[in-house]
């Protein structure tokens, strides 16, 4: 066949991507082996019944047609109301564009602020798609590691040092996947100051905004001078229990959002009609929002309580989101080897921290997408394996 474009062939470089253990565990589970999957961040429960019933009703009513490119007006209004709650800034419907999932919102954000050859900064550890999304825009990027010993808070001095003449954007994620860190006001104010000083965009991935436990979520959009230069990525996947529905949105300055409608024209051509209408009801009714937040707060606490008798393990970050990040260097600095040993010895699948950047080496990421009793049991088994390994 003719040569593919460099753009698509360069999105994901060849070689290991860090997810080999997850896929191996999943295949073994599919073959009938009893493996506890704590590697992926997908809910173990179904979408709220009210959302499902709304979707079925709209499907039966013939809602099968094209939708407006930026989303139904009522959908954008509902998303704007949730954005107001998420970011603390009064948001108008024309400051929101609906997208098929948070990933497309991220894609739109970076496509909207980067030209080929431009440069961006990614605070790591990061969600796995960030590098590829930069590459899809034809842009360069620098990873700036947040240190584990700092609770994975952004290193402001290192970020400042990474800024180049062609830097256009800083990308952050709080509450963070994979670490569960919730960025402090001090960290966010420092990032905001850098963006204002260097006239940068800030793309803030806040899909876990409702899952902060006892921590307080602060959106950088709420800080002085930042509403005009912040693009907030959001999604119904985690907050409303709708991972497979593919409903997300991007919040930002109205003029930037208006320009991104053209991107929808040549990519998604809008959302599914019946899914959009169900999403409207879920947003307006808050279906699942509080229950899911309560569920994960309880799960996080159950896991942390069960791991606390093992001083060999240091918990890093783990304040929000749906993950816990454990420092297992008392056993071995090779987190990949530890994760494989855990799978073989205890039939528990977790993600090696190194899958998400160098700052998370020596850690494992534990998904909290299982009931409390299973998480508590997993914590004890992980603790016992670390203790046994460390005592050798």
Looking at residue 392, what is its pLDDT? Answer: 77
The pLDDT of 230-246, averaged and rounded, is: 97
Read off the pLDDT band of 17 (50, 70, 90).
low
Rg (CA), the chain: 21
Q: Are the C-beta atoms of 212 and 89 separated by less than 8 Å? A: no
Looking at residue 214, what is its pLDDT? Answer: 81
* Total-model pTM: 0.95
- Among 90-94, 125-129, 252-256, 375-379, which stretch is predicted with the lowest mean pLDDT? 125-129
User: Tokens 């990027």 — which residue?
Assistant: 141
Give the integer Cα–Cα distance in Å for 173 and 162: 18
Q: Are the C-beta atoms of 350 and 366 separated by less than 8 Å? A: yes
| Burial category of 87 from C-beta neighbours within 10 Å (exposed 0-12, middle 13-18, buried 19 and up) | buried
Domains and CATH numbers, the chain: 6-46+289-386 (3.90.1150.10), 65-285 (3.40.640.10)
Return mean pLDDT, the chain.
96
User: Tokens 């009938």 — which residue?
Assistant: 32
Q: Are the C-beta atoms of 142 and 183 separated by less than 8 Å? A: no
Give 301-315 pLDDT, tens digit per residue.
999 999 999 999 999
DSSP E strands, the chain:
36-37, 96-99, 119-124, 140-145, 167-173, 201-205, 230-235, 248-251, 314-316, 323-327, 348-349, 351-352, 363-367
Q: How many CB atoms lie within 10 A of CB 142?
A: 16
Read off the pLDDT band of 294 (50, 70, 90).
very high
DSSP E strands, 62-113:
96-99
Give the integer Cα–Cα distance in Å for 247 and 272: 10
User: Which has more pLDDT, 15 or 214?
Assistant: 214
Q: Are the C-beta atoms of 159 and 192 separated by less than 8 Å? A: no
68, 338, 357 from 171: Cα distances, Å: 28, 30, 15
Q: Are the C-beta atoms of 206 and 233 separated by less than 8 Å? A: yes
Give 155-204 pLDDT, tens digit per residue.
999 999 999 999 999 999 999 999 999 999 999 999 999 999 999 999 99
Give the integer Cα–Cα distance in Å for 43 and 63: 27
Contacts of 231 (CB under 8 A, 6+ apart): 109, 112, 113, 201, 202, 203, 204, 250, 251, 252, 256
């Amino acid at each position: 066949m003719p040569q593919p474009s460099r753009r698509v062939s360069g999105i994901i470089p060849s070689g290991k991507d860090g997810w080999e253990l997850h896929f191996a565990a999943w295949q073994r589970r599919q073959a009938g082996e009893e493996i506890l999957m704590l590697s992926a961040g997908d809910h173990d429960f179904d979408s709220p019944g009210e959302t499902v019933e709304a979707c079925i009703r709209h499907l039966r009513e013939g809602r099968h047609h094209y939708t407006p490119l930026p989303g139904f007006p009522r959908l954008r209004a509902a998303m704007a109301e949730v954005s107001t709650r998420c970011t603390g800034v009064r948001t108008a419907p024309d400051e929101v564009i609906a997208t098929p999932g948070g990933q497309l919102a991220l894609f739109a954000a970076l496509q909207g602020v980067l030209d080929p050859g431009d440069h961006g900064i990614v605070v790591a550890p990061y969600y796995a798609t960030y590098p590829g999304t930069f590459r899809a825009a034809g842009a360069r990027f620098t990873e700036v590691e947040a240190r584990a010993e700092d609770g994975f808070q952004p290193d402001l001095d290192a970020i400042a040092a990474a800024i180049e003449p062609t830097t256009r954007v800083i990308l952050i994620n709080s509450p963070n996947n994979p670490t569960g860190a919730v960025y402090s006001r001090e960290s966010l104010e420092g990032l905001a100051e850098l963006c204002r000083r260097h006239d940068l965009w800030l793309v803030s991935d806040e899909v876990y905004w409702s899952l902060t436990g006892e921590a307080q979520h602060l959106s950088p959009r709420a800080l002085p001078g930042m509403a005009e230069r912040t693009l907030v990525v959001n999604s119904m996947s985690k907050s409303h229990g709708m991972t497979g529905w593919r409903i997300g949105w991007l919040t930002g300055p109205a003029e930037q959002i208006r320009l991104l409608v053209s991107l929808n024209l040549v990519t998604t051509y809008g959302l599914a009609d019946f899914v959009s209408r169900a999403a409207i009801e879920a947003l307006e009714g808050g279906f699942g929002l509080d229950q899911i937040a309560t569920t994960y707060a309880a799960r996080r606490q159950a896991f942390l309580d069960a791991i606390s008798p093992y001083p060999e393990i240091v918990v890093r970050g783990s304040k929000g989101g749906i993950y816990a990040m454990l420092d297992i260097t008392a056993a071995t600095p090779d987190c990949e080897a530890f994760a494989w040993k855990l799978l073989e010895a205890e039939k528990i699948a977790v993600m090696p921290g190194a899958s998400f950047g160098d700052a998370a080496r020596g850690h494992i990421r534990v998904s909290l997408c299982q009931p409390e009793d299973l998480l508590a049991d997993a914590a004890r088994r992980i603790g016992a394996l670390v203790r046994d390994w460390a005592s050798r």
